[in-house]
C-alpha cells in the first residue's frame, strides 16, 4: 500500500502517518520525492484495507493499493488452468471447446426435448434452460420452477446432455442442485453474496455470469467468495456489460477474455445471445469469442423463436445453430482447440 | 406498441405482421409513411411484451414500445404523493425533510450509542447502521449480524430514533423486520427479485437503493415488484451510479430526483456518502440533493471515521454532521420544506 | 512513479528495472514487500511518462503514477481562486454568482433582442447564444454564423450584457473574438487540441465545457493546454456526461463541482439545460448546482421554446427564467454568495 | 414520427397537437389506444426534427422517432458494399482483408523505415504512423509534424506500402493530403464537424475512428457529414469505447462489427491496439475482430516498444506482428476472406 502525501504536507503530518502505519502492524518506508513524500507500507495482505483510513489524515493526498485483492482465483497463486469435468465426459477449460445451448426458458416438455435433441444432433455438449427466471418486470413470465427442472432432467436422461440452469436465491440451491449438472448465477446476482456463499457449499460447479456493471476485479472477487466457501469449480461467463450504446442489448466485452486468461486459472465462456440481444449478431460474436480465446460459448436456441416466452429475439433456430456449429468446427483448429 | 417496417418491405410481409398483431389480440392500424410503413397495435397493456417477437418477422425493422412498464409506482396511475409514517412521528415524503444518519457498520455498543445520541442531538430523524454488510471481497468485515440488530434496537430504545438497516437475502427478512423500522435493500440487490417479493409480504417500509447500473425505469420496476407483492411503502434512494469517472466512488445522479418526482409518487432520498465516497464532498452534495427536490438524505456518521471498520473515508465526524444539519436547516425554507 | 513487480519476479528482472530507472534519470528505491517487490522512482515530473514503458519489462506487473498530470490548473500549484473580470463589471469565480442565459441558437434579431432584454430584466448577467452550431446530423440547422455574431454584438450594445458564444474551430477564433466577451468550447471539442492551443493565444476568457466522456483529470488537462499556451482565464462548465441512463439527455455530474473546487482554482459553471435535456428539470438542477458550490449557471431561454430551431425542449420561457432567478436569489444567501 | 399523448390528455390538447402537425406539413393519424392516444405524423424526412418541439405541448408525453437519421451511409439507401481502392492495388472492404500497421508516432527515419520493411515483409498492406499527435496532456510528445509526413512518404517510396496518417484540424487537411493515401480522423475529432466538412472536399479516402463515447448512430452521422460534403470514401474504425472497466484502456466494442455490417455499406476496420491498450491482448483481439466480420485490422508495431515515444505498451514487436499475420492467414479462410 502506498500513502501519497500532499505537496507541502508538514513534517508532523508525515510523522503521524508513519506512526499510524506502524501501529497497524506495517513497516513504513518513506520516499522523499521532488514534489512530495510517499510512504510505502509493507506487511500482511489481510489487514491492508485498514490502511485506507489514512486518506482521512491531514496532509494525505491518496492511498494507492498495489496488490490484487483476489487470491484463490488468481493465476499468480494457482499455476495451471482449472479444467472442470462433468460425470458424462464433458469438460470445460481444457483443449476441447464446450458449447452449451438451449432455450432461454423451459416452456414445455415438447419444447425442451425437441431443442435438446437438436442441440445434441448439431454437436452441442450441454443443454441450457431456465426454470427460475429473473425478469425486470413483475408482469413477465417467471419460469416453470421445479416443473421446469424436472423437464431438464428428463431431457438429460433422453439425450445424455448434461444440464445447466439458473438458481436465483440461496433457498433454492439444494433443489436446483438435485437436478442440474452446473448451477448458473445470473448477472443480477453476481454480488448476491448470500447466494455465493451457499454455492460454496455445493458439490456441483458454478457458472458465474458477469454483472451488468461488474469490473473484472469485482467479478473475480465474487468467484473468490465461492472458492473460499469451499467450491473451487467456478466457470466465468462474459455476457456483456452495460454502456451508453443502445444499438445492442449489452456491450459484449471480449477484451475480458484475454484479461481473464492472464489473471485467473478459471475457465471462461462467452454468451453472445445476451451479449448482443439480436439473433443476427450471435453467430459472428460467437466466432469472435472463440477467436479471442474463450473455452466455449453459451447459445440461446429455440424451436420457434418468434413464439418464445422470453428472449425470442436473440434465439437461434435449429438450422442457424447447426450453421454456427459448422463454423465453430472450422475455427477450432485455427485456435488450436477442438470441438 | 409500434411496429416499424423496413424500407421496401413487401406487401406480403406487411400483411403477415398485421395478421399476427390481430392473432395476439390487438387492433392493427397501418400508417403509410413516405419512406416506410408502420403498424400501431392497440390493445391491452398486459400482453404487450408478446409483440416484441414481431421483430423477428421478415420486413420488420423495429418494435417500439409506447407505454411505461410500471403501473402501481407510476404517478400517472396514482395521483398524490406517498407519505410514509413511522410509529414515532417520523414521516418521509411529506413537507418535512427526513435525515437518516449513522455509521456504515454497527461495530460496538459504545460506537452505535454514541453515534445515535450525536445524530439525535444534531436534529437527525433516524439512525442507520449496517448489521449485515455486503462486501465486494470475502476478506472484508461482514457485519455483527443479529448482535448488531440488537444494538440498533437498544439505540432506538435509548434515543427514540427509529432505525433503518439492510437485509441481504429473503431468509433474513423476518429477523431484520423484528428489529428495524425500515428495511433497506442495497444497490447490489436491486434486482434480487426473490428478496423483493419477500419484502412485499413485509409490514414495514422498504428503502430501495438504486443499483450501480439501474436505469430509472428498471429501478421503478423493482419497486413495482415490492408493491405488487403487497407492500406499498417503498422509499427510493439515489446513491450514485457507475460511470467512467473515477475521481469519485460513484456518480451521484441528481437528475434522477426531478425525474422521479415526475414519474412516481414514491418518496426519494439521496445518499451523498456512497454517491461521492469522500467525506469532504458529502456536505455540498447533500445540499445539492435537497435543492434538487429530494425528501431527505442518508448520511454516514462515525465517532472516529479513521478507525471505522468500513467506509471510514466517506463518513462525517459528529461536528461535521452538526454543520451539515445547520446548513440544511437554512436550505429547507428556500425549498419550502422544513427540517 | 511506482513500479510494481510480479509475485516471484526474479532478482535479475528487478535489477534490470532498477538500472533502467537510473538510466532514465530517476533515483530508484526498492521496497521488499511480503508478497512482491516495488520500486519507487524519484525525480523530475516532466519525464515521468518515460517510466510507463517499464510495464513492458519482464517481471513487471504495473506502473502506478503518483503525481497529478496537470500543473497550472492545479490548486496545489496556484493558491487562491481565479476570478475572471469582464470589462463591464461582471465577474466569474468571486463571491457573486454569475447567470448566463439565452437561446441555444441565435435565430433572428427579434428573437435575440427580446431574449436579451428578458434576461437583463430578470437579473441575468450575460447573454449566451450560438452562431456556429455543432450538430450531430448534417441535416440540422447549423447556425447563422457571422450574421449571428453581429446580432449578439447588437444585443450587447442595447442591453449592456456581455456575450458568450461558441467557436467551432481554430480558423474562426479571430472572428469570434472580435464579437464575443467569452469564447465557448463545446463538449465535442474538449480535446480538439488545435483549437485549445489557438485559444491560448486569445485575449478573452475561454469557457471550456466538459466532454461527454471526459474524466475530470482529462478536462483539467484540456484547460492546461489553454493555460500553457498563454491564456490563464479559463472557466469550466459541467454540462453532463454520457452514461447508460436514457431518462435524461445527459447525466449532470454535480459531484464534479466539489471535486473541482478541491482540485483547481478555476471557476466552475453548471449547465442544467444540456445536463438534463428537459426544461422541466432545469430549475431544480440549477438550484442543485449552486447548492453544490458552483460559481454560476448557464441556462437556455427562448421566447417560444416550441418554435426554437434547436434544443427547444430544454429551454425555459421568460416567465420560468424569472422564477428561476427568484429562487436562486433566495438560495444565494444560504450558500454565502450573492446574485 | 410518433407523438405519444399523456394518459388523460384532453381532447383540446390532442387537437392542438394534430393542428400543429398539419401546420408543419405532415399528415396526422390519430390512434386511440386503450390507455392513451398516439399521433403518427407522416411526411418528409428532412423536416422531421421540427416535430420534436411537440414534446413541449401540454398533454404530450414523448415524441418518438421512427426513421434512421443517416441516409447516404445507410445500407437501406445504397445497396452493395463500398470497396475502397488505393492506387497501388490495395483495397478495403472487398473479399481481401487489409492489415495496416506501424508505430503510434513517426519518431525517426530509421524507426519508420525499419518498421515499414518489417510490416511489408510480414505481409502487411499499409503503413500507419502519426505525424500530428493528439495527446491528452500538453506535456507529452506532439509528433514530428511535416517532417514526419515526409518520412512516411519516403517509407512508401521505398517499400511501396500506401500510407495512412492522422489529420488534427481542417487547416492541415491540404498538407496531410499531399503525403497520405488515407487521412485518419482520430477518436477525439469524430464530432469536429469543421474537420469533417473539410474532408468532404478531399479526394483521398477518410478513416474515421469511433469516438470514445460515440453511439453507432452518431458515428454514422459523422460519416454522413463527410459523404454529404462530397467524399463517399469513408472507412470506419472501431477502436474501443469508454466504459467503467479499467482493466483495459478502452472496451473494444466488437458488437459494432455485425451492427455496422447490417446498417451501412462502408468498410469496417478494428484497432485492437487502442481497443485494449496492452500488447499482450492485441493478437487475440485482432483475431476476434476478423472473426466478427471486420474488413481488416490496424496494429501498432514498433522496433523497440519499450523505447517508443508514445503508446509503447500497446505495440507489438516485429516478431509478434509476424506471429499475428500467420494466425490471421489461417483465420482468413475460415471466414471466407483472403489475406
Q: What is the mean pLDDT of residues D276-286?
A: 97
Cα–Cα distance for residue pair C264/C241, rounded to 1 Å: 20
Residue found under cell 423493482: B222
Please list, residue by residue across C217-243, b when 16 or more beta carbons sit within 10 angstroms of its beta carbon and e when fewer do: bbbbbbbbbbbbbebbbbbbbbbbbbb
Q: How far is CA C246 from CA A31, B238, B255, B259, C231, in A?
A: 47, 16, 11, 11, 37
Give A239-260 pLDDT, tens digit per residue. 999 999 999 999 999 999 999 9
Give B294→chain A minimum CA distance, Å.
25
A140-149, C17-26, C316-325: least confident range: C17-26
Q: What is the mean pLDDT of residues D57-64?
A: 81
pLDDT for position C44: 64
In terms of pLDDT, which residue wins out, C71 or D277? D277
Inter-chain CB proximity C308 and D53 less than 8 Å: yes
Instruction: Show me where the domains of chain C are located.
Output: 2-64, 84-334
Q: With bands split at pLDDT 50, 70 and 90, how would you rate the model's confidence at C122?
A: very high
Q: What is the mean pLDDT of residues C114-125?
A: 98
Beta-carbon pairs below 8 A across chains C and D: 111
Task: Considering only the beta carbons, identify the residue of B137, B228, B307 that sits closest to A138.
Answer: B228
Q: What is the mean pLDDT of residues B207-217?
A: 97
Task: Considering only the beta carbons, identify the residue of B263, B276, B287 that sits closest to C255.
Answer: B276
pLDDT for position D47: 64
Cell of D73: 451511409
pLDDT for position D69: 82
Q: How many residues does chain B have?
A: 339
Q: Which residues of B touch C297 (CB under 8 A)?
A: none
Residue closest to A210 by CA, chosen among B133, C246, D244, D288 = D244
Q: Which residues of D touch B76 (CB under 8 A)?
A: 6-8
Residue found under cell 434538487: B292
Give A326→chain C minimum CA distance, Å.
36
Residues with Cβ within 8 Å of D12's Cβ and at least 6 positions away in sequence, in order, are none
Cα–Cα distance for residue pair D321/D115, rounded to 1 Å: 11
Give the distance between the most distant pair of CA atoms in chain D: 77
pLDDT for position B118: 98
Inter-chain CB proximity C285 and B258 less than 8 Å: yes
Give B221-260 pLDDT, tens digit per residue. 999 999 999 999 999 999 999 999 999 999 999 999 999 9
Q: Which residues of B touch D42 (CB under 8 A)?
A: 31-34
Task: Considering only the beta carbons, identify the residue of C7, C29, C244 that sits closest to A243.
Answer: C244
Residue A321 has pLDDT above 60, yes or no: yes
Residues with Cβ within 8 Å of C23's Cβ and at least 6 positions away in sequence, in order, are none
Inter-chain CB proximity C241 and B241 less than 8 Å: no
Q: With bands split at pLDDT 50, 70 and 90, how would you rate the model's confidence at C304?
A: very high
Check: CB of residue B288 under 8 Å from CB of residue C289.
yes
CATH number corresponding to C2-64: 3.30.70.1140
Check: CB of residue B81 under 8 Å from CB of residue B337.
no
Residue closest to C242 by CA, chosen among C234, C233, C251, C230 = C251
Q: What is the mean pLDDT of residues A98-108?
A: 97
Q: Which of A6, A47, A50, A53 to probe by mutation at the B interface, max B CB count within 10 Å?
A: A53
The DSSP secondary-structure symbol of B104 reads S
pLDDT for position B45: 58
Inter-chain CB proximity D8 and B76 less than 8 Å: yes
| Class of residue D268 by CB neighbours under 10 A (exposed 0-12, middle 13-18, buried 19+) | buried
Inter-chain CB proximity D7 and B35 less than 8 Å: no
Task: Considering only the beta carbons, identify the residue of D36, D42, D76 that sits closest to B31.
Answer: D42
Residue found under cell 453581429: C150
Q: Which residues of C touch A32 (CB under 8 A)?
A: 42
Q: What is the mean pLDDT of residues A156-179?
A: 97
Q: Which residues of C touch B241 (CB under 8 A)?
A: 243-245, 251
Q: Which residues of A touch C21 (CB under 8 A)?
A: none
Residue A271 has pLDDT above 60, yes or no: yes
Check: CB of residue C276 under 8 Å from CB of residue B269.
no
Q: Which of D104, D191, D312 to probe by mutation at the C interface, max C CB count within 10 Å?
A: D191
Residue C39 has pLDDT above 60, yes or no: yes
DSSP per residue over B308-324, as a string? -SS-GGGPBPHHHHHHH
Residue D46 has pLDDT above 60, yes or no: no
Q: With bands split at pLDDT 50, 70 and 90, how would you rate the model's confidence at A47?
A: low
Q: How far is CA C328 from CA A162, B237, C98, C332, C338, in A?
A: 65, 26, 11, 6, 9
Residue C206 CB-half CA count within 13 A = 31
Residue B273 has pLDDT above 80, yes or no: yes
Residue closest to D283 by CA, chosen among D213, D330, D335 = D330
pLDDT for position B112: 98
Residue closest to B162 by CA, chosen among B237, B90, B235 = B90
Instruction: Identify the sign of the CA torsion C326, C327, C331, C337.
Output: negative
Residue A143 has pLDDT above 70, yes or no: yes
Residue closest to A68 by CA, chosen among C17, D247, B135 = D247
Q: With bands split at pLDDT 50, 70 and 90, how would you rate the model's confidence at A158?
A: very high
Bridge partners (DSSP) listed for residue C139: none
**pTM strictly above 0.95:** no
Inter-chain CB proximity D54 and C137 less than 8 Å: no
A-chain residue closest to D281, CA distance: A258
pLDDT for position B196: 97
Check: CB of residue B238 under 8 Å from CB of residue B253.
yes
Give A297→chain D minimum CA distance, Å.
14
Give C221-269 pLDDT, tens digit per residue. 999 999 999 999 999 999 999 999 999 999 999 999 999 999 999 999 9
pLDDT for position C61: 81
Q: What is the bridge-based pairing of β-strands C206-209 and C234-238?
A: parallel
Give B218-227 pLDDT, tens digit per residue. 999 999 999 9
Give A192-208 pLDDT, tens digit per residue. 999 999 999 999 999 99
Inter-chain CB proximity A6 and C76 less than 8 Å: yes
Q: Chains meeting A at 3+ CB pairs closer than 8 A?
A: B, C, D
Q: Which residues of D touch B6 (CB under 8 A)?
A: 76
Inter-chain CB proximity A312 and B228 less than 8 Å: no
Inter-chain CB proximity B288 and C215 less than 8 Å: no
Residue C220 has pLDDT above 80, yes or no: yes
In terms of pLDDT, which residue wins out, B72 or A50? B72
Angle at C303 between CA C298 and CA C307, to 5 degrees: 105
Give D119-166 pLDDT, tens digit per residue. 999 999 999 999 999 988 888 888 999 999 999 999 999 999 999 999
Bridge partners (DSSP) listed for residue C268: C236
Cα–Cα distance for residue pair C299/C279, rounded to 1 Å: 10
> Phi-psi bin for B289: left (phi > 0), alpha (psi -120 to 50), beta?
alpha
Helix (H, G, I), strand (E, B) or coil at D51: helix
Cα–Cα distance for residue pair A246/D217, rounded to 1 Å: 9
Residues with Cβ within 8 Å of A61's Cβ and at least 6 positions away in sequence, in order, are A4, A5, A6, A7, A9, A36
pLDDT for position C6: 85
Give C258-278 pLDDT, tens digit per residue. 999 999 999 999 999 999 999
Give B7→chain D minimum CA distance, Å.
7
pLDDT for position B41: 81
pLDDT for position C48: 67
The CATH number corresponding to D84-334 among 3.40.50.2300, 3.40.190.10, 1.10.1740.10, 3.20.20.70 equals 3.20.20.70
Give A18-27 pLDDT, tens digit per residue. 998 888 888 8
C-chain residue closest to A213, CA distance: C244
* Chain B residues near any Cβ of chain C (below 8 Å): 213, 215-217, 240-241, 243-248, 251-259, 261-263, 275-276, 280-281, 284-285, 287-293, 327, 330-331, 334-335
Check: CB of residue B145 under 8 Å from CB of residue B131.
yes
DSSP per residue over D132-171, as a string? S---SSTTS----THHHHHHHHHHHHHH---EEEE--SGG
Q: Which residues of C touch D57 (CB under 8 A)?
A: 306
Cα–Cα distance for residue pair B303/B325, rounded to 1 Å: 16
Q: With bands split at pLDDT 50, 70 and 90, how would you rate the model's confidence at B206?
A: very high
C-chain residue closest to D224, CA distance: C138
Q: How far is CA A191 from CA A74, A209, A215, B133, in A?
A: 19, 11, 12, 12
Check: CB of residue D161 under 8 Å from CB of residue D116.
yes
Amino acid at each position: 500500500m502506498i500513502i501519497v502525501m500532499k505537496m507541502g504536507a508538514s513534517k508532523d503530518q508525515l510523522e503521524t502517518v508513519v506512526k499510524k502505519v506502524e501501529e497497524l502492524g506495517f513497516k513504513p518506508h518513506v520516499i522523499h520525492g521532488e514534489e512530495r513524500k510517499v510512504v510505502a507500507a509493507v506487511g500482511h495482505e489481510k489487514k491492508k484495507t485498514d490502511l485506507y483510513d489514512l486518506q482521512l489524515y491531514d496532509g494525505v493526498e491518496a492511498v494507492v493499493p498495489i496488490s490484487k485483492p483476489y487470491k484463490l482465483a488468481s493465476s499468480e497463486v494457482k499455476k495451471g488452468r482449472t479444467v472442470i469435468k462433468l460425470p458424462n465426459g464433458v469438460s470445460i477449460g481444457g483443449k476441447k471447446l464446450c458449447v452449451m445451448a438451449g432455450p432461454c426458458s423451459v416452456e414445455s416438455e415438447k419444447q425442451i426435448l425437441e431443442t435438446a435433441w437438436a442441440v445434441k444432433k448439431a454437436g452441442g455438449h450441454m443443454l441450457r434452460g431456465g426454470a427460475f427466471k429473473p425478469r425486470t418486470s413483475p408482469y413477465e413470465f417467471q419460469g416453470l420452477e421445479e416443473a421446469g427442472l424436472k423437464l431438464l432432467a428428463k431431457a438429460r436422461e433422453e439425450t445424455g446432455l448434461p444440464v445447466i440452469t439458473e438458481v436465483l436465491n440461496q433457498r433454492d440451491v439444494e433443489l436446483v442442485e438435485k437436478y442440474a449438472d452446473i448451477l448458473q448465477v445470473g448477472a443480477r446476482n453476481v454480488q448476491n453474496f448470500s447466494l455465493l456463499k451457499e454455492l460454496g457449499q455445493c458439490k456441483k460447479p458454478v457458472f458465474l455470469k458477469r454483472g451488468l456493471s461488474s469490473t473484472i476485479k469485482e467479478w473475480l472477487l465474487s468467484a473468490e467468495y465461492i472458492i473460499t466457501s469451499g467450491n473451487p469449480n467456478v466457470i466465468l461467463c462474459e455476457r456483456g456489460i452495460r454502456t451508453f450504446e443502445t444499438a445492442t442489448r449489452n456491450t459484449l466485452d471480449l477484451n475480458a477474455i484475454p484479461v481473464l486468461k492472464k489473471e485467473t486459472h478459471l475457465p471462461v465462456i462467452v454468451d453472445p445471445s445476451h451479449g448482443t440481444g439480436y439473433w443476427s449478431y450471435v453467430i459472428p460474436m460467437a466466432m469472435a469469442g472463440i477467436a479471442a480465446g474463450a473455452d466455449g460459448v453459451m447459445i440461446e436456441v429455440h424451436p420457434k423463436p418468434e413464439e418464445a416466452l422470453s428472449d425470442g429475439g436473440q434465439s437461434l433456430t435449429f438450422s442457424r445453430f447447426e450453421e454456427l456449429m459448422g463454423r465453430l468446427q472450422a475455427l477450432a483448429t485455427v485456435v488450436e482447440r477442438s470441438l
